[in-house]
Structure 1
């Protein structure tokens, strides 16, 4: 799925941070493929695999986030949303927002074929 779609967001339908990531993409005219893990059979296994991948990518920073409880408005682990652009793991909402603020998100989206501006 990640390789076949320009943008993929692994999400939980009740997670506020996941909602923000999806809204950001939609406001930019990007239509991400969204996988709501709480609505998928095997979603818990996918979530564990994403956490492991994020731990490898971000090391001790992510270890501390995963150990912390999620915000009360979210059921998701801090590993969610897990965002892939062009088949590459960007990370969570913090990394997505950092890319957006720095101006590097639009070139990534164009390169992945998610934006044509």
Structure 2
């Protein structure tokens, strides 16, 4: 759990993914379209990936990937991110982390 929390707080927007996950890809594309470039950790390529999956689930994410952290706080997975986006709240959460254009 310590590694997940350390990685989740290293940048403003952090997404834990698996390289073969299409929902992970969709979440990352959404962030890029909103002007945010998240730090992506592909846990299937990490030797501690299985432990990281368990830690993410213990933190409260409904699924281990994608697990989205904004400002060091767990936002959730695809459903939570898309719900925030549709309600207009995601843009506000991401405002401090938008890339300068």
TM-score band (shorter)?
0.7 to 0.9
Number of residues paired by the alignment? 94
Larger radius of gyration: 1
- Calculate the TM-score normalised by the size of structure 1: 0.74
Q: Is this contact kept in 2: 1:50–1:82, CA < 8 A?
A: yes
Structure-1 residue corresponding to 2:82: 97
Q: Are positions 1:115 and 2:98 aligned together?
A: yes
Q: 2:28 aligns with which of 22, 28, 38?
A: 22
Q: Name segments (4+ residues, structure 1) moved above 4 Å.
A: none
Structure-1 residue corresponding to 2:60: 54
Secondary structure of 2:75's aligned partner: strand
Q: Are positions 1:13 and 2:19 aligned together?
A: yes
Provide structure 1 residue ranges, at least 5 long, that are not aligned to the other structure.
56-61, 63-77
Q: Is this contact kept in 1: 2:65–2:77, CA < 8 A?
A: yes
Q: How far apart are the structure 1 equivalents of 2:64 and 2:53?
A: 8
Q: Is this contact kept in 2: 1:83–1:89, CA < 8 A?
A: yes
Deviation, 1:116, is 6.1
Provide structure 2 residue ranges, at least 5 long, that are not aligned to the other structure.
1-6
RMSD: 1.5
